[in-house]
Structure 1
Amino acid sequence: MTPEQTQAYYQDNSKAQIYAMLVVSFGAFLGPVTLATVNVALPTIANALNADAVLIGWVPTIFLLGNIALMLPFSKLADNIGRKRVYLIGIITNTIGTLLAAMANDIYWLIACRFIQGVASAMIFGCSMAILTSVFPPNKRGLPLGVNAFALYCGLAVAPALGGWATEYLGWRSVFWIQVPALFCLMIAITRLKGEWKNPSVGKFDWLGSSIFAVWSVCLVVGLSGLPKLEYSALLLVGIACLVWFIKHQKTVTNPLVRLSLFTEHKGFTLSLIATVAMYAASYPISIIASMYLQYIQGMSPSQAGHIMLLQAVAMAPLAPIAGKLSDKFNARIIAAIGCVFALASFISFSQVHADSPAMVISLIMLGLGVGYGFFTTPNNNVAMHSIERKELGAAAALINLSRTTGNTIGMGIVTLLISHYIGSTPITENESPLLLQTIQTSLVFASIYCFIALCLSLAGKKGQY
């Protein structure tokens, strides 16, 4: 079918719309499962593969690197060659990376496989929002977007407990085997997702801009991980230079990856994106930090740690749609700011924990973080989407996903830097527990700073509902 025939097919076909919503929502569920199940298993993986603290820190970081470097190029490429095609390739690539990771015999093999999974995630999330907005008319997008967000939070909710249970009772390789059901999503997409979505007039793809953006991403993450060593500082400077080059290049190219004037034309959109970067720079490392604290410092089993970490997502899942509805009736910026306050208080509290802190205290902190992010995410996205014109919604959705991933990458890069600084390239044992606790506390101070920045940005926009 042509793009016009595809649009007509889905316009009044509610059954076809539901299949599309299910496929995209499964991809949203798969993303956090791919991330968080592995994070819970990191201490066990470190022991099994004899990996030091720095190398084990690269297991989640390399995933984010593949994601951030390629999400924007893939979302733009999908506009040219087909969003469903790129989405399906992403599902297949993720399955291949998962199977290879489950067979890893050394930490370097595992890190390589996690990069493959990160590339696949860039394909999936670079197209998912655009598929939904293509299938559903503007007056019916609320439900599918809400279901997609709910699936994302459900993945966040079950992943820590699922990863902990699988690691403890089936071994760390099982956290990869449990991701194989993604093939079920692939079969539904192939058999039920009809047609294709792409721009009728295909513009020249910006290969140079994509390459510059990828190099910037690599230099940023790798450079942060090795500071203050001279060679890593130089790499970080190269990354900054590449970012400046990328911005200048996007202003001159005919068909840019992102229209940079979008940021200057819509201040509310820009503030919301920066707030997203800050909040997710604080939130992503928490799963690694909490996993290490609960298992190395508190001596909990993987399943026990997973159950406590589960509390954050359990609070987020029901609050996100409630906060979304509230943001339609009241000032969305204030609601997002309330979320920042809850998260900030939780990060500050977590930074004060010690080796003998009661498990109940950690549980309350995780609940507080869930409340904070439950109130922040949907209203903040609401602000962003209401700040721009309808014709820019596709680009806006891709940039929101990219901002979230960029924040994740920056946050994890700082944590990797702190691990390298405090512990270095040595396996984590009981002797390193004081240094690990110091690393965790310092990481949480950084998270508190990020959260405070997001709070200021949430309150910085124009007065009114949005």
Structure 2
Amino acid sequence: MSVPLSSRSTSIDRRCILVIATLASFLTPFMSSSINIALPAIGSEFGADAVLLGWIPTSFILASAMFMIPMGRLADIHGMRRIFFPGFVIFTIATLLCALSDSTSMLIAFRLVQGIGSAMIFSTAVAALTAVYPPGERGRVLGINVASVYIGLAMGPVLGGVLTHAFGWRSIFLSVIPLGAIVILLLLKNRDEWTETHPDHFDLTGSIVYGLMLLSLMYGLSVLPQAAGWAYILFGIFMLALFIRREMRVESPVLRVRLFLENHVFAFSNLAALINYSATFAVSFLLSLYLQYNKGLDPQTAGLILVAQPFVQAVLSPAAGRISDRIEPGIVASAGMGVTVIGLVMLALLTEETPLVFIVGALAVLGLGFALFSSPNTNAIMSSVDRHFLGVASATLGTTRQVGMMLSLGIAMMIFSVIIGRVQITPAYHAQLLSSVQIAFALFAALCVAGIYFSLARGRVRREEG
């Protein structure tokens, strides 16, 4: 039996939930962007090749994507806080274990555990904010939440570069622990359940099929052009078809596929998000390698340059969220996608002699585009579903984001595999690295052009007020 949220509204501290969600939304992108800047240092210590280095960020994203929708479904059934709290504890402990890793394989394994904790966090945070704030305030608080993500992305390269340069890459993980402890203390203080519960059956089989599908697709991308890569991708496509068939038939699916078929705003907004993240997430990964290997910069200087994109995102996202409360969100998001294309085309023109000011300008353009896209698109998705689907909607959005990130890195690793091969990057391979970066950004720009169409195809996004 569902427990009405209104009967507990006086006991729910909205501001505390906003603070918790905002801090949590800061930590994981901070970790991702700071680790990207430390990859050359990790590769040097452990002797890892370019593809294996790619698995350090990818393992985290893969685990997040595999578990986010199942965790969102569990949150709808049992309550958001009951999933968020243990998830944050898992994330914090795994972060400490990452700092203690003594091999690439161990680091990747603990990043997988981190990803599981992250899935439990991100499948619930946005849903909780959407549930406890009324429609008229939703764009504002979601803009704040998105801004915290971008602040994490902005501070990651700077602090990650400083920490790696001064204390080594392990200090990045250790620096997160105190903030994690603060969030845990706030969670212990605020013990009230945040949202309604909807007791129901959990589709474990569907969750397993879903996880195998994502794992097969991602691993297949990483080992292309080998025959095994195509085999894994075909198996992943088969599992995708099996998953859709099952979810259409079971009474209590882990993912309501019919929601995509019946709600065009929801479907096309998620597809636009998938394309946008697929085209943009690998930017910091690729530029981190380009700036340190091709331009010869140290991690600290490279981090200062990479901060341009997320800094612009962080500054403009709250305003973009407020705009989407007043202007059609689809129009704002589509304009943002168009600006993103311009930034990606600029990065596709990189050479060994490209001035740093041009790179900073391209990153600022990307930051503007992503700020205009992300908050309005999130507002459109979360406002297009009924309250009892908020957990699934939040998890679907989070999974779309993670799968997009995963595909972005997968495309980059596939290009590395074809052009560079499974070798450690040395000066002899700098020309191949530059070619890989140029090809990747050109592909991302073309992908984002397609994304503009799907962003516009969603139609008008006028939400139900109440």
TM-score by length of 1: 0.94
Q: Residues of 2 paired with 1:393 and 1:87: CA distance?
A: 14
Give the 3-state SS of the residue equivalent to 2:176 in structure 1: coil
Could you tell me whether the CA contact under 8 Å between 2:71 and 2:119 is conserved in 1? yes
After TM superposition, give the deviation of residue 364 of structure 1 in Å: 0.5
Q: Provide the residue aligned with 1:436 in structure 2.
A: 433
Aligned to 2:448: 451
Check whether the contact 1:3–1:198 (CA below 8 A) recurs between aligned residues. no
State whether structure 2 residue 217 is matched by structure 1 residue 220: yes
Alpha-carbon contact 2:147-2:314 (below 8 Å) kept: yes
Alignment of 1:49-60 (within 5 A): 49-60=46-57
Cα shift at 1:394: 3.6
Q: Which residue pairs with 2:287 in the alignment? A: 290
CA distance in structure 1 between the partners assigned to 2:322 and 2:21 by the alignment: 22
Give the Cα separation in 1 of the matches to 2:105 and 2:230.
Answer: 24
Instruction: Summarize deviations over 1:285-339 as a string: whole Å, max 9, x none.
Output: 1110110011111011111111111010111112212222323333432322221
Distance 1:126 1:351, change over 3 A: same
**Distance change in 2, residues 1:314/1:455 (3 Å):** same
- Does the 8 A contact of 1:81 with 1:198 survive in 2? no
Structure 1 residue 143, shift from structure 2 partner: 4.3
Residue of 189, 192, 195 corresponding to 2:192: 195
Q: CA distance change for structure 1 residues 66 and 200 in 2, over 3 Å: closer, same or farther? A: closer
| Equivalences for residues 125-274 of structure 1 within 5 A | 125-138=122-135, 140-181=137-178, 182-190=180-188, 192-197=189-194, 200-274=197-271
Alignment correspondent of 2:108 = 111
Please, what is the CA RMSD of the aligned residues? 2.0
Written as runs of structure 1 = structure 2, the 5 A alignment for 1:60-71 is 60-71=57-68
Gaps of 5+ in 2: none
Q: 1:380 aligns with which of 377, 382, 387?
A: 377
Residue type at the aligned position of 2:216: C
Matched, 1:23 2:20: yes
CA distance in 2, matches of 1:296, 1:79: 46
Superposition deviation, residue 200 in structure 1: 4.6
Contact 2:49 2:425 (8 Å CA) reproduced: yes
- Measure the CA separation in 2 of the matches of 1:133 and 1:386: 8
Residue pair 2:37, 2:160 contacting (<8 A) in 1 also: yes
Q: Measure how far apart 1:388 and its partner are.
A: 3.9
1:416 lines up with 2:413 in the alignment: yes
Deviations 1:106-160 (A, max 9, x none): 1111111111111111111011122223444555544433332222222122111
SS in 1 for 2:274: helix
- The change in CA–CA distance for 1:141 and 1:275 in structure 2 (over 3 A counts) is closer
Change (3 A) 1:216 1:85: same
Task: Answer yes or no: is the 8 Å Cα contact 2:126–2:394 preserved in 1.
Answer: yes
Shift of 1:462: 2.8
Instruction: Choose the corresponding residue for 1:329, options 312, 326, 331.
Output: 326
Query: Judging changes above 3 Å, is the alpha-carbon distance between structure 1 residues 375 and 227 closer, same or farther for their aligned structure 2 residues?
Result: same
2:315 and 2:443 mapped to 1: Cα distance?
28
Distance 1:464 1:250 in 2: 26
Name the count of aligned residue pairs: 462
1:84 equivalent in alignment to 2:81 = yes
Q: Distance between the aligned counterparts of 1:208 and 1:256, measured in 2?
A: 10
1:111 counterpart letter in structure 2: I
Deviation of the 1:261 alpha carbon: 1.4
| SS in structure 1 of the partner of residue 422 of structure 2 | coil
Structure 1, gaps ≥5 residues long: none
Deviation per residue, 1:382-434 (Å, 9 max, x gap): 33344444554443222111111111111111111111111122111111100
Identity %: 33
**Which digits, 9 at most, give the CA deviation of each residue in 1:172-225, with x for residues without a partner?**
1111111112122111101x2122357655212111000000000100100111
Whole-angstrom CA distance in 1 between matches of 2:197 and 2:29: 33
**What is the distance in 2 between the residues matched to 1:386 and 1:84?**
21
Q: Tell me how far 1:5 sits from its aligned partner.
A: 8.4
Deviation at 1:85, TM superposition (A): 2.4
